Amino acid sequence: MADHPVDEKLPALKMATTGLQHVAAMYAGVVAPPLIVGAAIGLTATDLTFLTGACLFTAGLATFLQTLGIWKIGARLPFVNGVTFAGVAPMTAIVASTEDKSDALPIIFGAVIVAGLLGFLAAPVFCKAIRFFPPVVTGTVITLIGISLLPVAFGWAQGPDPTAHDYGSATNLGLAAVTLLIVLLLRRFTTGFVKQIAVLLGLVIGTLIAIPFGATDFGPVADAAVVGFPTPFHFGAPQFQLAAIISMCVVMVVSMTESTADMLALGEIVDRPADEKTIAAGLRADTLGSAISPLFNGFMCSAFAQNIGLVAMTKIRSRYVVAAGGGFLVLMGLCPMAASLIAVVPRPVLGGAGVVLFGSVAASGIQTLVRAALDRDNNVLIVAVSLAVGIIPITAPEFYHAFPETARIVLDSGISTGCVAAVLLNLVFNHLGRDGRDAHDVTHPMEAGEELTTTPKAPAAP
C-alpha cells in the first residue's frame, strides 16, 4: 500500500526548497516576540540577536517533535511550531512589573516551564474537546484563522516600522502588490515543482526587485556571526513567581485551544482528519516543546497557522518537508548568518505573499462550511455569531480595553473567542433540548466531521 501523502518522503532538493518556503512564511512570526520582549527589557543588540536565535533554535526542536514525533508525542502532521504571539502581552506585563529587568527573562522562563509541564499533563483530557468540533464549528474556526492572519499580511505590506515616514507608502504597497502578482502568475502559468514553490520564488524575485528602491537591507548578513549556540540559561536560572505562572498558564490554555483548531484544520486539508489520539499527541508536542524551550532561552511554542495556508496552496502534504523546515530553523539558531538571510526579505514582499497564504486558510474554512448544512437556520446562526465574535479583536482592537489584562489574553484572540462561541452555540442549538420536531434539522454536535444521514429534500419543481 502506498504511503499517505503526509508520510511521503520527497527528493532531497524538493524537500529542502519546500521546507525553506515554510521557514520563509513563518520567520517574521517567530522573531517578532523576542524582538518585542527584548526591546521592553532593554537588551543590548548582542543579547537581542542571541534571544532571537534561541527562539529559532527551539522552534526547530518543537517542529521536530510535532512532525517526526517520539512515543505518543507529536501529531505527525506537517505542522511548523514556533513562538506563540499570544504570550507577548503577558510577557511584556511581567517585564513591566519586574523592578530589576535582569530578572525578567528568568521569571518568564520559569513560568513557561511550569505552564508547559502542566499543559503536557492536561493534554489527554484537553484533546477530548474534538467531540465538540463538527463541520459547522471547524469550518468557522478555520475561516477565522485565515481572517485573523490577514491583518498581519496587510501590516507587513505597509512596512516594518509603523513610525517610519515610508510606512504604507506607494513604494511599499507596490512591492507587496508586485510580489502577490508574481505568485499568482507562477501559480497560473507554471506546472509541477515550479508551481509548488511559487511563494518562495515570489519572495526571492520580490526581494531582488526591492533592491533598487532601497527596501532590502543586507546589513544583518554582514553583521551576523557565522557560528553561535543558545547556551542553556544564558540569562540566568529560571525563577518561579506565582503571578507570572498563572498568566502563562492562561496563555497555555489559549495556545492549546488554537492548536486544537489548527490540527483539525490541517487534518481536513491533508485528508487525514485529526482524532483524539492525534490531537493529544500534538498537544503533548506543543507543551513539551514549550517546557524545553526556556532551557535554551526560548519562549512558549505553538503550531503556526500561517503554514496551514502554504500546505493548502501547494498541495504538498508531507510532514518530512516541514521537518526539513525545522532543520533550517535549528541551523539558523546555530548560525546567525544563516538566520539573517531570511531577514533580508523586505516586510512588504513578505506581506504580498502572506495575502495568498492566509487567504488560502480562510478559503479552506469556507470549503469545510460547505459540508455544514448551511441551509439550516441553526447552523447559519452559529456561523454568523461566531464569526462576528471572532472578528471583534480585528475590527475593534480596543473593544475589551476595560477588562483585566488576564481576561484580555483570551478575549483579544479572535480564534479563541470565536472557537468558544461556535462550540457553545452548537451545543445550545444542535444538542441541548432537542426533540423529535427538529432532530432532522440539526447536525450531531458530539462527533467531529460526522456525515449527515438524512435524505436531502428534493429540489422544488420549476
Distance from C-alpha of 187 to C-alpha of 191, rounded to nearest angstrom: 8
Please give the backbone phi and psi of residue 210, each rounded to the nearest 5 degrees, phi first.
-75, -20
Distance from C-alpha of 289 to C-alpha of 308, rounded to nearest angstrom: 19
Distance from C-alpha of 265 to C-alpha of 308, rounded to nearest angstrom: 8
Strand ranges for 164-321 from DSSP E: 301-303
Q: Decide if 118 contacts 351 (C-beta within 8 A).
A: no
Rounded to two decimals, what is the model's pTM? 0.67
Q: Decide if 339 contacts 53 (C-beta within 8 A).
A: yes
DSSP state of 83: E
Per-residue confidence (pLDDT) for residue 446, from 0 to 100: 42
In the chain, what is the straight-line distance between the N-terminal and C-terminal CA atoms, in Å?
A: 48
Residue 2 grid cell: 502506498
Place of cell 498541495: 315
Q: Decide if 350 contacts 28 (C-beta within 8 A).
A: yes
Place of cell 541551523: 331
Give residue 179's pLDDT band: very low, low, confident or very high (50, 70, 90): very high
Give residue 8's pLDDT band: very low, low, confident or very high (50, 70, 90): confident
DSSP state of 450: P
For the chain, the structural domain boundaries read 5-429
From 108-122, 256-270, 387-401, 438-452, the region with the lowest mean pLDDT: 438-452
Give per-residue pLDDT as tens, 12-58: 888 888 888 888 777 766 776 787 788 778 777 678 778 888 888 99
Distance from C-alpha of 149 to C-alpha of 138, rounded to nearest angstrom: 17
Burial of 377 (0-12, 13-18, 19+ CB in 10 A): exposed
Per-residue confidence (pLDDT) for residue 243, from 0 to 100: 77
Average pLDDT over the chain reads 81
DSSP state of 461: P
DSSP state of 212: G
Per-residue confidence (pLDDT) for residue 196, from 0 to 100: 65
DSSP state of 70: B
Give per-residue pLDDT as tens, 136-149: 887 887 788 778 77
Q: Decide if 121 contacts 127 (C-beta within 8 A).
A: no
Distance from C-alpha of 62 to C-alpha of 326, rounded to nearest angstrom: 8
Place of cell 557560528: 227
Greatest mean pLDDT range, 29-43, 153-167, 177-191, 260-274: 177-191
DSSP state of 203: H
**What is each CA distance from 220 to 102, 152, 153, 206, in whole angstroms?**
26, 23, 22, 18
**What is each CA distance from 263 to 145, 257, 270, in whole angstroms?**
12, 10, 10
Per-residue confidence (pLDDT) for residue 441, from 0 to 100: 47
Q: Please check the confidence at residue 168 and state whether its pLDDT lies above 50.
A: yes
Give residue 200's pLDDT band: very low, low, confident or very high (50, 70, 90): confident
Give residue 343's pLDDT band: very low, low, confident or very high (50, 70, 90): low
Per-residue confidence (pLDDT) for residue 105, from 0 to 100: 92
Q: Decide if 430 contacts 442 (C-beta within 8 A).
A: yes
Distance from C-alpha of 293 to C-alpha of 300, rounded to nearest angstrom: 7
Average pLDDT of the segment spanning 234-253: 84
Per-residue confidence (pLDDT) for residue 409, from 0 to 100: 64
Greatest mean pLDDT range, 179-183, 353-357, 374-378: 179-183
Residue type, 190: T
Give residue 285's pLDDT band: very low, low, confident or very high (50, 70, 90): very high
Give residue 294's pLDDT band: very low, low, confident or very high (50, 70, 90): very high
Q: Please check the confidence at residue 459 and state whether its pLDDT lies above 70.
A: no
- Torsion angle defined by CA atoms of residues 1, 323, 78 and 115, in that order, rounded to the nearest 10 degrees: 130
Angle between helices 12-41 and 88-97 (to 10 degrees): 30
Per-residue confidence (pLDDT) for residue 173, from 0 to 100: 95
Q: Please check the confidence at residue 437 and state whether its pLDDT lies above 50.
A: no
Burial of 3 (0-12, 13-18, 19+ CB in 10 A): exposed
